[in-house]
Every structure is written in C-alpha cells, then in structure tokens.
Amino acid sequence: MILSYAEAIKKCGNSYQLSQAIKNGLLYKQEDGIYSTRKYESELSIIMKKYPKAVLTGEYAFYIYGLTNVIPEKYELATPSKSARLNDVRIRQIYIRDEVFNLGIIEKDVDGVDIRIYDKERLLIELLRNKNKLPYDLYKEILLNYRMIIYELELWRIQEYAVLFPKSKMISKALDEEVL
C-alpha cells in the first residue's frame, strides 16, 4: 500500500516512529513524501499518489487502453489551467480549461493501481484536437484502433464532449471523416 507523508504519520503516530518503521523495514520511503508497505512500487502508482488530483491523459492513456503498443517516455498528466506547475522530470503536464477538465474522468484499476484517467470517448476528442502534436504514424495507429472499437464507444458522449471544446466544428468534422 502506498501512503502519503500524512498517511504514514497517521499510521505510525509521529515522525520519529515513522523513521523507526523505515529503519526496521516496516515501511519503505519511495521518494520525498511517498512511503509504501512494499519495498518496490510501480512508477505509475507513485506518480498517481503524488499527484492525486491530476488525470492521466495523452499517449500514456492510449497505451493503458491498448490503443497503441508504444510505451511513452513520459506520463502526461492533465491539470486545471490555473494549477501549480508539477516539477517532475517523468511528467509532461497538460493544462486543461476548468470548464472541460472534469469531463470523462473515471477511476480505473491498472495492475492493482487505482488511477484517474479520461474515458475512451474523451481521449478520442483529445486525439482529434491534438493530431498535429503527435507523430503521424502514432496518430494513425491510435485512430485505426479506435475504428476497430467504435461500436463499443458511446457516440452520444463523444458528441456531447465535442460541443464543449473550442473548435467543436473541426472536431465533429474530423470525427465524421476519420473515425466513423
């Protein structure tokens, strides 16, 4: 189990007892402010514990859903537009307008780690909005995989999301021409 500093203090009682628990191997310090009952934790679980309000998006989210087999170098985390900067070399922070930040957030279990991630419908909107920022071959691979699962998606949700974003007509046009 991964614990924040506050949770570790609550579990141990105080900072001295926390340091003793670490010394005795009852808890393990993963990085500043993150502790665990296991010696090794996945990088994804540490990042999601460290940034609990952020949402996994972008290339890593496509990888989680199996829409690409390319493992990205960095985790892309979406945060509201006025959020503080995340200073972590493993992360690429994406600022999202407050009005659309919460659209499509779900909790998903990935290899025993609970993560906040956008649903497939929201990620399709993100793919179409940011197609010029992705390598062409990666964009085409993800798009092809979306075409294969289009009947599993809730199309009404995609249309509902698309209307709320800037350039909604461009998104709808790309949706009709490239996906459906």
Q: Is the pLDDT of residue 161 over 80?
A: yes
pLDDT at 175: 80
| CB-neighbour burial class of residue 103 (10 A; exposed 0-12, middle 13-18, buried 19+) | middle
pLDDT digits (tens, 9 = 90+) for 98-120: 999 999 999 999 988 899 999 99
DSSP 21: H
pLDDT at 169: 81
pLDDT at 177: 79
Of 133, 148, 179, 177, which Cα lies nearest the Cα of 65? 148
What's the mean pLDDT in 30-59? 93
The strands making up 75-80's β-sheet, listed across from edge to edge, are: 91-96, 75-80, 55-57, 113-118, 105-110
42 phi, psi to nearest 5 deg: -70, 150
167 phi, psi to nearest 5 deg: 60, 40
pLDDT at 88: 92
pLDDT band for 78, please (50, 70, 90 cuts): very high
Q: Is the pLDDT of residue 57 over 90?
A: yes
Q: What percent of the chain has pLDDT over 70?
A: 100
- Give the predicted TM-score (pTM) of the model: 0.88
